[in-house]
Structure 1
Amino acid sequence: MKLQHHIRSTLGWCLSIGIKLLRVVPFTTITVQITTLASQFFLLLAFFLPLKVIILLGSEKIPNYFPSAFQVLKKNHLIVSLSAAAAVCYVLYLLSELLIAYRCRQGARALLLRSAKLNMFENQEKIAVYAYSRFTRAMAAALFFVISTMTLLIIYPKLLVVVFGYTVLATLLCITAYNFSPKAQVHFQQNHSNILNALSATGFLLSFFCLVADFLYFPHQRIFHAVIAVLVMRQALQRLTSMVQDVVSLRMQHRQINAMFFQSQPLLEQRQNNQQLECLLSPSSREAWAETLMGQAGVDTSNGLQISWHQIDAVDVYAFHITVLDNENPQEYLAKLFGNNIATLAEQERLLLKYQPDLPSLKWLGHYLLHGVDCHLFRLNGHKKLIRRQIGDGVVAINEQLLRCEPARELILRFSRTRPYLEQRLDRNIIEPLRFVCSTPEEADKVERLLDSFELIVGRLNDLPRQIVSLDITSEALLVSASHQYQLSHWSSWRIEAVGSNWPVGEKERLCKAIEAARSQRPSLVNTTTDDIVLSAFMYSFEKFLLRKDYPAALRLLDDILAATEAEKPQKVGQESIK
């Protein structure tokens, strides 16, 4: 859509919103308009009067261009009076802003009550107050610009011609650039606030230079009018810029605003479109981009290829099974396309696969860009999805391999700078609610014992080696190779936690066996007790239950947590008695 069409539709939308506000809450809206204008007037005086005081401080007497009413006062008295007036104006400005905020809350609540709808999203009233406040301020800014225009027309019409000429020229240039340059269109959409501020500052400087040239080459008697004109012009351009910024910001949320303020309009969520991705997903274009991808990976596709959908069970990730035909040995690949709104997840997967090659993962062949869309390519080796009875074994097998995998130092450094570990997230405050759901004295006693051991638990978790934890272990992401090796096809969501984290708590015996097996392959586990790793596994699940408010499930873990926590207490007590 061309920019002028955007402007026309936005003006129509603003007109309908303005009529709605004046019809439903007229007194509140008019009050906010008047108060906002008064606020801007007081702010203008609060900045204007100190300039006069500075001029008086630097002169021996009251300048002749000051109003005649000031000439009868003594210089010191005038300085004190203007300084006091500036302070009073600033106080009135602050009081006006408080009144505006109060009336905006009232107006927004009245509009929500009038629409008589269910809550459509979180913080609805807060968003309504924000929208009402910004729109009424935009209306006041437009009115202030009109009043400023009339003031300039009276005291300095030449300057008004320059300002209007520049405004029209800048608008036409922006429309032309937006309509005919895709790159400029992207810049306008992403940096409209900076562009508007730059245009406003440029307009002020251009107008100021014209004013200076006018006074240098043409006779003028009242310099006081020029000072007022400069201040009014600057404030008018600032208000015009803020008005456009407010309207653009509100227009981006027009679906929510329409749903909140208009009874007949439900909340319509806009689906995010990615034309390049949708084009790649189209069946008619799959073979073309698959050949391009294989060519970038150095795979010969002269004998043809076959493409089929591969369900990955991840939001906005689209996977395809690509079979490159060969007379003797067809080759299988998995290509994953990532939507633009989850580019961070694609980057996380690349980072993990780059620094951690010994993961239970498909062989990663690299990252490629297809028309700006992130694509990860993997090699399949007769991999199949698991049947239902294999899923439990697959989850345990993946965790066993992660238990034996020493995280790369680079990953540990990056994660520790970004996210807290399990022991850093644990807090007494999330355990306290367990006291309220205990139904027997035995349960209450277990909770108290856990709280008494809290520092000990945190310390033991902190001393454990680290391991990579995958949050993508789902039935769709689990695969089994032709050699019966379980592997994951998706690694976008991963963490680094204390070793043992994310182990299925129902498989405690298999965890103990896995720990013994891992010690022979991972030196950092040699001096780590099995109870500490078991404690980590149960505390990781314990935290998840607490965050989900599943307190009965959390209570059921207390026996195992306390058993692992208190396993070494007698030994430590004996050592302390020997000392």
Structure 2
Amino acid sequence: MSEAKSAPLDSGRWIYSVASKITRNIPGLTLTIITCTLAAQISLLAASYLPLKAIILIGSPSIPSYFPDYLKEFEQKDLFIVLCVAAIVFYLLYLASESITKKLTTLGSEKLVSNSSKLIVFDGQDDVARKAYLRLTRSLAAVVFLALTIAALGFIYLELTVAVIAFWLCMGVAAKAMTALKKGHPAPLTEGTHELINSMGSFGFLAAFSYLAYDLLSDTPPSLLPAIIGVLLTRQIMQRATLLIQDVMLLKEQRLQISALFFNGHKLTTESKSKATKFWNIFTRNQIDEWVPALLEQATQKSYIEHHVNWHQSGVHDIFAIEVTSTCRLGNSDTHLIKIFNTNRSTLAINEATLLSEPNVRNLPNVPFIHATVLDGFHCHVFRPEHLNKIPAVEFGIHHLELTKLLMRSTPSAALVQKYTRSRPLLWDRLNDAALANLGEALDISKHQAAFEVFMRHVESIRFLLRTLPLHVCNAQVGKDQIFISDTGVLTASYWGNWSLEPVGASLQVSSKLEPLLPELLLDLKEQRADMQDVTGQHLHLSALCFQLDQWLVKQNYLSAAELLPQISHLVSALNQAVPEGAACNV
């Protein structure tokens, strides 16, 4: 079979080709892993079976009659000890086999990747290769184990074997029928799929046990020993069968990556995911003509006779937007901005809706938000902008600073603060001992070690001072495509997916131009917010420095972070005595 096929093989042939490739490349190692896996499975079966036999033995007045004759030569107590010791030995053998399998699997995956003679194909490829090799060898071992177990069960209890095989045949027919109903496009593997497969195995064991119970109550019941062994073997068959199905499905999910790793003729190409295709299809002309009128009628409770749609550059990957100018029957028109979030941006959609739906946030410079819904499985937000004039790209720095200053006027409601603090750390929480310890390790071999030691002596005061500052809604990641400017110079933001609550002063750009800005900013904030009366320019400066410090720590830019430490320590020394103990408003 050719290693590189341009046309996609079906799943069975592809798995066979992967198994053949691996077996040819490292036959000895693969056979050893399969043998160890089988030894582990058989040892675990024995370790589960022997304690049950020991308990039955010790609970009987003598050695039960259905025990094999060679065991009846032992004394009852001695036989109990032998069974217990044997159970321990088999369990230790199971642990040893699992340990050997794990080490050999890592070695085998490394050899396979090395034999392919390729560059690094994608991040985390070693882990993908190791797991793929483990699943494949485990699947091969499971096939052998299932064959041996079913053969043993057939020899001991033929009727139960027929019942087990009939169950899996019925499940296979049902799965095939469901796939046919979905027109050959099975749903991607999810946690729910795993749960369904596990439930199927449990249901199979219940069905087999029900048959066993019926047979035991019949006129010609089986003997007790075959029934006990039958229960244990049936349980193992169901567990291994469900694990085999899950391993095969997981291998199919990573088909492109595995082929790129193990086959010389395969290259990793971008796979067209069904959900990505579905997301793009929303924006075809026919689809837009269908859902835009219904959505706007739902959002505005108004009926429009015509919609003119233009693409809107959102500035965020996988968040698409359109501008819709709608005309009413009376001739007047309304403009709406509609944003659709792909599934991998659902968190950003929920963050934005949470903030913009909060009624008691004052002074928030946002584009008016009127509706949030789910459109064909994707989060959708509708805005009613007064205009759609984006700021000139060359003036982004100026307007971003102005928007940052405007945002400090925003006063979050108590309910929003409570929601936020229950789910995310605030600035003083993010400057925790663990984050600062990493900084200390980096600076221990630098010229900034002394500055760090001084900083650490003030760290508790720093956290306390930050708690004394009022919070504001911060939108530090807003970009040039997301800031609108009116004809009169009023700024608004259209994107709030990454908003956070920060002390006033945070997100101001730290530079030599910062200090001259603070007096005017402080005067404006005191006019806009009643909770700013005890705040000074030094507080704002400290907040800006600490916020920048946190950003550098996240990026592991420790030398840039170190340059801020002397300024922070100096400000804290000046402020520390001036803050009364009861002034903290965010403790």
1:352 aligns with 2:355: yes
Gap change, CA 1:87 and 1:139, over 3 Å in 2: same
What is the distance in 1 between the residues matched to 2:551 and 2:186? Answer: 45
Query: Paired residue for 1:512, among 519, 523, 530?
Result: 519
Query: Paired residue for 2:537, among 524, 530, 536?
Result: 530
User: Which residue number in structure 1 is paired with residue 583 of structure 2?
Assistant: none
What is the distance in 1 between the residues matched to 2:535 and 2:143? Answer: 70
What is the distance in 2 between the residues matched to 1:452 and 1:208? Answer: 68
Deviation at 1:497, TM superposition (A): 1.7
User: Which residue number in structure 1 is paired with residue 467 of structure 2?
Assistant: 462
User: Which residue number in structure 1 is paired with residue 390 of structure 2?
Assistant: 385
Runs (4+) off by over 6 Å = none
Q: List alignment gaps of at least 5 residues for structure 1.
A: 1-6, 573-579
User: Which residue number in structure 1 is paired with residue 196 of structure 2?
Assistant: 195
Are the equivalent residues in 2 in contact too, given 1:178–1:188 (CA < 8 A)? no
Deviation at 1:280, TM superposition (A): 2.2
Are the equivalent residues in 2 in contact too, given 1:472–1:490 (CA < 8 A)? no
Q: Aligned AA for 1:494?
A: W
Query: Paired residue for 1:373, among 378, 395, 400?
Result: 378
Are the equivalent residues in 1 in contact too, given 2:440–2:449 (CA < 8 A)? no
| 1:234-313 correspondence to structure 2 within 5 Å | 234-274=235-275, 275-298=277-300, 300=302, 302-313=304-315
Are the equivalent residues in 1 in contact too, given 2:472–2:504 (CA < 8 A)? yes
User: Which residue number in structure 1 is paired with residue 20 of structure 2?
Assistant: 19
Gap change, CA 1:9 and 1:57, over 3 Å in 2: same
1:414 aligns with 2:419: yes
User: Which residue number in structure 1 is paired with residue 70 of structure 2?
Assistant: 69
Deviates more, 1:292-301 or 1:402-411: 292-301
Are the equivalent residues in 2 in contact too, given 1:367–1:376 (CA < 8 A)? yes
User: Which residue number in structure 2 is paired with residue 47 of structure 1?
Assistant: 48
Q: Aligned AA for 1:142?
A: V
Gap change, CA 1:8 and 1:143, over 3 Å in 2: farther
Q: Aligned AA for 1:233?
A: T
Instruction: List per-residue Cα deviations over 1:137-178 (Å, max 9, x = no partner).
Output: 121111100011211222222222211112111211232234
What is the distance in 1 between the residues matched to 2:578 and 2:301? Answer: 61
Equivalenced residues, count: 563
Are the equivalent residues in 2 in contact too, given 1:434–1:447 (CA < 8 A)? no
| 1:539-558 correspondence to structure 2 within 5 Å | 539-551=546-558, 553-558=560-565
- What is the SS of the residue equivalent to 2:502? strand
What is the distance in 1 between the residues matched to 2:408 and 2:231? Answer: 71
| 1:333-352 correspondence to structure 2 within 5 Å | 333-352=336-355
1:158 aligns with 2:159: yes
Q: Aligned AA for 1:17?
A: V
Instruction: List per-residue Cα deviations over 1:205-232 (Å, max 9, x = no partner).
Output: 2223333433443546743223222222
Instruction: List per-residue Cα deviations over 1:34-92 (Å, max 9, x = no partner).
Output: 11111111111111111111111221111111100011211111111111111111111
Deviation at 1:461, TM superposition (A): 1.5
Deviation at 1:342, TM superposition (A): 1.3
Q: Normalising by structure 1, what TM-score?
A: 0.90
What is the distance in 1 between the residues matched to 2:365 and 2:242? Answer: 55
Are the equivalent residues in 2 in contact too, given 1:301–1:324 (CA < 8 A)? no
Q: Normalising by structure 2, what TM-score?
A: 0.89
Query: Paired residue for 1:425, among 430, 441, 449?
Result: 430
User: Which residue number in structure 1 is paired with residue 582 of structure 2?
Assistant: none
What is the distance in 1 between the residues matched to 2:408 and 2:70? Answer: 87
User: Which residue number in structure 1 is paired with residue 507 of structure 2?
Assistant: 502
Gap change, CA 1:303 and 1:70, over 3 Å in 2: closer
Instruction: List per-residue Cα deviations over 1:110-163 (Å, max 9, x = no partner).
Output: 111111222233333233222211221121111100011211222222222211
- What is the SS of the residue equivalent to 1:380? coil
What is the distance in 1 between the residues matched to 2:442 and 2:209? Answer: 69
- What is the SS of the residue equivalent to 1:331? strand
Are the equivalent residues in 1 in contact too, given 2:48–2:87 (CA < 8 A)? yes
What is the distance in 2 between the residues matched to 1:155 and 1:305? Answer: 74
Identity of aligned residues (%): 28
Gap change, CA 1:556 and 1:205, over 3 Å in 2: closer
What is the distance in 1 between the residues matched to 2:108 and 2:388? Answer: 61
Deviation at 1:531, TM superposition (A): 0.7
Are the equivalent residues in 2 in contact too, given 1:32–1:100 (CA < 8 A)? yes
- What is the SS of the residue equivalent to 1:540? helix
| 1:88-167 correspondence to structure 2 within 5 Å | 88-167=89-168
